[in-house]
Chain A
Amino acid sequence: MNDPKTDVETRLRRLRLAPLPDELKRRVMAAASLAPRASWRDRAWYSRAWRVAAACTLLAVVVVDRWSAGAFRTGGEATVSPAAAERTWVTAGVADMGVPAEMAARLTARAEFVPLTAAETSDDARAAMR
Chain B
Amino acid sequence: MADGDREALAELYDRHAAALFRHGLALAGSSADAEDLVQGVFVKLAGFGVRLLGIRCAGAYMHRMLRTAFLEGVRHRGVAAEVPLDTLDVAAGTGAEEADRLALETALGGLPAEQREVIVLHSVQGLTFREIAGMTGVSMWTIASRYRLGLERLRGMLGTR
List A residues at the B interface (Cβ < 8 Å).
1-2, 4-5, 8-9, 11-21, 24-25, 27-29, 31-39, 42-43, 46-47
B151, closest chain A residue (CB): A8
Is there a chain A Cβ closer than 8 Å to B54's Cβ?
A: yes
Q: Please, which residues of chain B bring their CB within 8 A of the CB of A5?
A: 155, 159
Is there a chain A Cβ closer than 8 Å to B42's Cβ?
A: yes
Whether B46 pairs with A16 at a CB distance below 8 angstroms is no
Report the bound CA distance from A46 to B51 in whole Å. 8
CB-CB contacts of B138-154 with A at 8 A, as 1s and 0s? Answer: 00000000000001001
Report the bound CA distance from A24 to B35 in whole Å. 7
Query: Does more than half of chain A's interface fall in helix, strand or loop, or is it mixed?
Result: loop
Whether B49 pairs with A35 at a CB distance below 8 angstroms is yes
The A-contacting residues of B in range 35-49, CB under 8 angstroms, are 35, 38-39, 42-43, 45-49
Whether B50 pairs with A24 at a CB distance below 8 angstroms is no
Q: Which of B17, B26, B49 contacts A20 (CB 8 A)?
A: B17
B157, closest chain A residue (CB): A4
Size bracket of the B interface: 35 or more
Whether B155 pairs with A4 at a CB distance below 8 angstroms is yes
Report the bound CA distance from A1 to B52 in whole Å. 51
Query: Does more than half of chain B's interface fall in helix, strand or loop, or is it mixed?
Result: helix
Q: Please, which residues of chain B bring their CB within 8 A of the CB of A24?
A: 17, 21, 35, 38-39
A13, closest chain B residue (CB): B123
Report the bound CA distance from A34 to B119 in whole Å. 35
Report the bound CA distance from A51 to B52 in whole Å. 17
Whether A34 pairs with B88 at a CB distance below 8 angstroms is no
A11, closest chain B residue (CB): B104
Q: Which of A25, A34, A42 contacts B17 (CB 8 A)?
A: A25
Report the bound CA distance from A26 to B85 in whole Å. 25
Is there a chain A Cβ closer than 8 Å to B72's Cβ?
A: no
21 residue pairs of the A-B complex, CB under 8 angstroms, read: A1-B99, A4-B155, A8-B151, A12-B119, A13-B123, A17-B25, A17-B26, A18-B86, A20-B18, A27-B35, A29-B10, A31-B39, A32-B42, A35-B2, A35-B46, A35-B50, A37-B2, A38-B2, A38-B3, A38-B49, A42-B50
